[in-house]
Amino acid sequence: MTTRIETAFARLKTENRAALIPFIMGGDPSLDTTAKLLAALPAAGADLIEIGMPFSDPMADGPVIQLAGWRALDAGANVIKIIALVADFRKTNTETPIILMGYFNPVYRYGCEAFCNDAVKAGVDGIILVDLPPEEEQEMRPFLDSSGLKLIRLIAPTSGDDRLELLSKSATGFIYYISITGITGAKTADTGSLSTKVAHLRQFSKLPVAVGFGIKTAQAVADVAPIADAIVVGSALVDVIAREKDAASAVKAASAFVTQLAAGLRR
């Protein structure tokens, strides 16, 4: 069975362009705002959408996404409610792939088998678990495989060849290459070295490669597009949403920003 992720990347290949994957924090600043953002972003230019599952101790995230996660937790967001948001989204959109991103603790507390089954039933296509290395994935792997939920692996620029091989073998769906060393939103990606590193990574996997961390502008999207199969923009979009005072203005501003980013793919 062809998955939504595979279908999206196949379509983009025929269009000869990379995918745009905006990241939003589920429940920031409210679950209602997230629902409205999900409805609006595909028309604005999102090819896939990444939704953060808020967690109290987000080790890989910089201040912008940390604050977004805390706002979401204060607003009552949790894994159950975010999965429910995806289920509602699927009532009107059956094509745009949805990726959840977060940390293993909330998934473990939910129950690995229940999480995988419930996420797929709701219409989630993939999961990124920042702190679940291949050596410890035995808690999840049987249920990932049986449910069809894709495990997207993060790969750091400091990873050696042995690590690249291990991570690539463990990944499904696509690979998420971190363009900088450090936390989200802290630096700007260097496209000069990025090209060489992504080309090297492709020796280990035939999966599409998404590049994220440090990509903040339409020009940066345009610079990375020839290198990657997809570009993820997170902190810059979360910051746009955070500056608005209500859901309507947040959706309008986010849509305008994503449209601007998407234009970078067509230069």
Q: Dump pLDDT digits (tens) for 115-154.
A: 999 999 999 999 999 999 999 999 999 999 999 999 999 9
Range of the domain at 129: 4-266
Q: What is the mean pLDDT of the chain?
A: 93
pLDDT tier, 266 (very low <50, low <70, confident <90, very high otherwise): confident
Angstrom distances, CA of residue 256 to CA of 37, 64, 236: 12, 19, 13
Residue 37 sits in a domain whose CATH number is 3.20.20.70
Number of domains in the chain: 1
Instruction: Look at residue 192 and tell me whether its pLDDT is greater than 90.
Output: no
Q: Are 227 and 9 in contact (CB under 8 A)?
A: no
Of the candidates 84, 75, 74, 19, the one whose C-alpha atom is nearest the C-alpha of residue 51 is: 84
Residues with catalytic function: 50, 61
pLDDT reported for residue 188? 54
Q: What is the pTM of this model?
A: 0.95
